[in-house]
Amino acid sequence: MAGSSIGECFRVMTFGESHGPAIGCIVDGCPPGLPLTEEDIQQDLDRRRPGQSRHTTQRQETDRVEILSGVFEGETTGTPIGLLIRNVDQRSQDYAKIRDRFRPGHADYTYLLKYGRRDYRGGGRSSARETATRVAAGAIARKYLRYRLGVEIQAWLAQMGPIVAQDFDDAEIQRNPFFCPDAAAAQRMADYLDELRKAGDSIGARVDARVRHMPVGLGEPVFDRLEADVAKALMSINAVKAIAVGDGFAVVEQKGSEHGDGMRPEGFLSNHAGGVLGGISSGQDLRVSVAVKPTSSIRIPRPSIDLHGEPVEVSTTGRHDPCVGIRAVPIVEAMLALVLMDHVLRQRAQNADVQAPIQPIPAG
Q: For position 363, what pLDDT does the model report? A: 86
How many angstroms separate the CA atoms of 246 and 200, rounded? 35
Q: In this predicted model, what pLDDT tens digit does every residue of 281-301 receive, in sequence order?
A: 999 999 999 999 998 888 889
The answer as to whether 63 is a domain residue is: yes
The answer as to whether 360 is a domain residue is: no
* Averaged pLDDT for residues 302-316: 90
Please compute Rg for the chain using Cα positions: 21
Band (pLDDT 50/70/90 cuts) for residue 94 is low
The answer as to whether 359 is a domain residue is: no
The answer as to whether 363 is a domain residue is: no
pLDDT at 29 over 70: yes
Q: In this predicted model, what pLDDT tens digit does every residue of 161-193 receive, in sequence order?
A: 999 999 999 999 999 999 999 999 999 999 999
Q: What are phi and psi of 345, to 5 degrees?
A: -70, -35
The answer as to whether 362 is a domain residue is: no
How many angstroms separate the CA atoms of 363 and 275, rounded? 9
pLDDT at 54 over 60: no
* Averaged pLDDT for residues 68-82: 98
Percent over 70 (pLDDT), the chain: 94
pLDDT at 82 over 90: yes
**Longest Cα separation, the chain:** 69
pLDDT at 53 over 60: no
Count how many domains the chain has. 1
The CA-CA-CA angle for residues 282, 286, 291, to 5°, reads: 145
Band (pLDDT 50/70/90 cuts) for residue 315 is confident
* CATH number (domain holding residue 244): 3.60.150.10
pLDDT at 93 over 80: no
The answer as to whether 230 is a domain residue is: yes
Band (pLDDT 50/70/90 cuts) for residue 337 is very high
Q: For position 57, what pLDDT does the model report? A: 52
Q: Considering only 46-50, 57-61, 222-226, 245-249, which range has the smallest mean pLDDT?
A: 57-61
Band (pLDDT 50/70/90 cuts) for residue 50 is low
Top pLDDT among 246 and 56 is at: 246
- State which residues form the domain around 291: 5-351
Q: In this predicted model, what pLDDT tens digit does every residue of 197-209 receive, in sequence order?
A: 889 999 999 999 9
Q: Considering only 37-46, 67-76, 202-211, 309-318, which range has the smallest mean pLDDT?
A: 309-318
How many angstroms separate the CA atoms of 152 and 52, rounded? 25
The answer as to whether 181 is a domain residue is: yes
Q: For position 319, what pLDDT does the model report? A: 62
How many angstroms separate the CA atoms of 97 and 314, rounded? 9
* Averaged pLDDT for residues 321-326: 90
The answer as to whether 263 is a domain residue is: yes
pLDDT at 138 over 80: yes
How many angstroms separate the CA atoms of 2 and 349, rounded? 26
The structure's pTM equals 0.93
Q: In this predicted model, what pLDDT tens digit does every residue of 222-268 receive, in sequence order?
A: 999 999 999 999 999 999 999 999 999 999 999 999 999 999 999 99
Q: For position 95, what pLDDT does the model report? A: 65
Average pLDDT, the chain: 91
